[in-house]
């Protein structure tokens, strides 16, 4: 009796995790008139911690017995519990029976019940912890986005002024500032080769000349350094995240998959060991956006298009794209969390793959071997031995996708809802906060008929994809948008554009088949280095 009353206390926790509001309050109110809501949660973790660490100390007198049990979870505690709680139990038993055997049996029963409760509690606790971690990740991502947006708002003002004074400095400044203040300096510095070089130069010059839109307020270098020291942690994370890459392999006749962003080709190079040239694209949705992608066909199977995304968008994107980007950030964070390129990465990678694409976990592989941790999505499932030859640390998993040399539309399309659905569903776990918020907005903007759930948006995408004659490209685009950071359309239009833009790829053969309204942006970006 007393035990049963004590156990329910602990089980109230599920409350906070899922929408902190809906279901639980009632239960809680029933149990304790709201007295224990938060306290329970806190106590729960506290108990758990103590259990893990010392396994001894307990605060609440009421919970003592329970905690002791918990500590012992094993066998011995039961006996100790008996001895310790003997008095308490005696109180209960007094009225019932005097027989010691009966007492024992009763105690054992109670203990069993308690153990069951404890197990429940433990499992719940674990679940809660997971949720807490997820929430933490979500919070970080959200914070990042907010920071970006806020900075951009300020940036727009500053950039306008700067634009008046000096054209050449505008873009670099914007780049630096928009690039997530934290990541700006270090991140760009770490960026490969000439661009980072140029931008650093410009940034320094801009800091001197302009005095800085944000971090440049202080004189000279001290302020940035201070900011660096203050945000060092974020810097590292962001810088590393920027290095993280998301690679998508898909069969497509199109020269490039459409992922909802606008790209400008800035270079093409013959890569060693591959007769097919590698094309370099830069995001042009905003001046100074550090996001780049490389597109290259597989040497052995030229129908396979390998698209690699790198970096995080530093500009506001359409809500849907934002959600995707947040997912990318989360994914990158997940990928990069823990120890970076070490064995731990394997764990994270595997987890990432399974988390993001559980049912299609087969499609996701993570490489920790390359300089940059890479998430690879393979949509080809070809018999091609060249598929993942070079990266020993990857986790190639058999793909549920039908092996589709020419991509059988019907069968593959049939799988789409499941794949995407689960992918998104799990993405929501990844960055559930942003997903729910952003996607809601996005859905409303994109199509009022869609339910305010990302799944709805997803299904819409799936439908659009299903209708796409060039299914492979569309599929790749959608997947890449899921992982690569943008929604497979510009977000300004209906999701139907998924089909349109994708099909456009077949013809245009080049990058920005998207909006024409970005021309000025692109032109401005050209002056970036000047």
Binding interface with DNA (CB under 7 A):
191-195, 197-198, 264-273, 278-280, 282, 284, 292, 294, 509-512, 516, 518-520, 522-523, 528-530
Torsion angles phi and psi, residue 431, rounded to 5:
-130, 55
**Residue placing its CB nearer to DNA in the complex, 235 or 511:** 511
Nearest-approach distance from CB 314 to DNA, in angstroms: 15
Nearest-approach distance from CB 516 to DNA, in angstroms: 6
* CA dist., res. 237 & res. 219, Å (int): 27
Nearest-approach distance from CB 378 to DNA, in angstroms: 19
* CA dist., res. 57 & res. 48, Å (int): 11
How are the residues of the chain apportioned to helix, strand and coil, as percentages rounded to the nearest 5?
Answer: 60, 10, 30
**Residue placing its CB nearer to DNA in the complex, 45 or 372:** 372
Contact 321, 434 (CB under 8 A): no
Residues 6+ apart with CB under 8 A from 106: 89, 93, 96, 97
Shortest CA distance to 479 belongs to which of 323, 317, 249? 249
* CA dist., res. 292 & res. 280, Å (int): 7
**Residue placing its CB nearer to DNA in the complex, 123 or 268:** 268
Nearest-approach distance from CB 247 to DNA, in angstroms: 11
Q: DSSP per residue over 310-364, as a string?
A: ES---S---HHHHHHHHHHHHHHHHHHSSSSSSHHHHHHHHHHHHHHSSTTGGGE
**Residue placing its CB nearer to DNA in the complex, 109 or 390:** 390
Residue 303's Cβ-count burial label (10 Å; 0-12, 13-18, 19+) is middle
* CA dist., res. 503 & res. 43, Å (int): 57
Classify 434 as helix, strand or coil: helix
Nearest-approach distance from CB 366 to DNA, in angstroms: 18
Shortest CA distance to 285 belongs to which of 262, 316, 255? 262
Nearest-approach distance from CB 250 to DNA, in angstroms: 19
Nearest-approach distance from CB 19 to DNA, in angstroms: 42
**Residue placing its CB nearer to DNA in the complex, 115 or 501:** 501
**Residue placing its CB nearer to DNA in the complex, 193 or 222:** 193
Nearest-approach distance from CB 487 to DNA, in angstroms: 20
**Residue placing its CB nearer to DNA in the complex, 41 or 171:** 171
**Residue placing its CB nearer to DNA in the complex, 128 or 368:** 368
């Amino acid at each position: 009796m007393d035990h049963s009353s004590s156990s329910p206390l602990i089980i109230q926790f599920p409350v906070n995790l899922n929408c902190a509001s809906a279901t639980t309050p009632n239960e809680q109110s029933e149990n304790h008139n709201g007295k224990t809501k938060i306290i329970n949660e806190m106590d729960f973790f506290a108990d758990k911690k103590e259990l893990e660490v010392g396994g001894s100390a307990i605060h609440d007198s009421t919970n003592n017995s329970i905690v002791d049990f918990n500590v012992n979870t094993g066998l011995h505690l039961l006996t100790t519990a008996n001895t310790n709680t003997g008095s308490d139990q005696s109180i209960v038993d007094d009225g019932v029976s005097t027989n010691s055997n009966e007492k024992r049996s009763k105690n054992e029963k109670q203990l069993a019940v308690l153990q069951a409760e404890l197990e429940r509690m433990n499992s719940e606790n674990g679940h809660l912890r997971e949720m807490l971690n997820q929430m933490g990740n979500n919070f970080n991502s959200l914070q990042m986005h907010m920071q970006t947006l806020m900075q951009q708002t300020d940036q727009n003002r500053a950039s306008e002024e700067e634009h008046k004074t000096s054209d050449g400095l505008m873009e670099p400044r914007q780049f630096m500032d928009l690039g997530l203040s934290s990541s700006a300096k270090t991140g760009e510095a770490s960026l490969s080769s000439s661009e980072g070089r140029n931008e650093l130069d410009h940034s320094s010059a801009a800091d001197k000349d302009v005095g800085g839109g944000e971090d440049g307020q202080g004189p000279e270098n001290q302020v940035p350094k201070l900011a660096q020291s203050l945000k060092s942690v974020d810097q590292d994370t962001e810088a590393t995240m920027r290095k993280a890459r998301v690679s998508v392999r898909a069969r497509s006749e199109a020269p490039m998959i459409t992922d909802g962003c606008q790209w400008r080709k800035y270079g093409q190079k013959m890569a060693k060991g591959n007769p097919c040239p590698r094309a370099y694209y830069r995001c042009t949705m905003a001046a100074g956006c550090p996001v780049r992608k490389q597109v290259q066909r597989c040497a052995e199977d030229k129908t396979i298009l390998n698209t690699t995304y790198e970096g995080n968008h530093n500009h506001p994107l359409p809500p849907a794209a934002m959600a995707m980007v947040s997912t990318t950030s989360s994914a990158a964070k997940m990928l990069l969390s823990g120890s970076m390129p070490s064995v731990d990465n394997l764990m994270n990678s595997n987890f990432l793959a399974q988390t993001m694409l559980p049912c299609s976990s087969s499609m996701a592989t993570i490489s920790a071997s390359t300089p940059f941790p890479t998430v690879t999505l393979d949509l080809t499932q070809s018999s091609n031995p060249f598929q993942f030859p070079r990266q020993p640390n990857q986790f190639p998993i058999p793909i549920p996708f039908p092996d589709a040399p020419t991509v059988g539309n019907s069968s593959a399309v049939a799988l789409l809802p499941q794949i995407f659905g689960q992918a998104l569903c799990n993405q929501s776990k990844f960055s559930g906060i942003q997903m729910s918020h952003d996607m809601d907005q996005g859905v409303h903007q994109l199509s009022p008929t869609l339910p305010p759930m990302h799944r709805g948006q997803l299904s819409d995408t799936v439908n659009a994809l299903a209708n796409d004659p060039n299914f492979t490209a569309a599929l790749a685009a959608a997947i890449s948008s899921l992982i690569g950071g943008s929604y497979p359309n510009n977000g300004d239009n209906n999701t139907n554009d998924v089909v349109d833009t994708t099909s456009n790829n077949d013809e245009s053969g080049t990058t920005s088949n998207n909006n024409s309204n970005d021309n000025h942006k692109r032109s401005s970006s050209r002056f970036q280095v000047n």
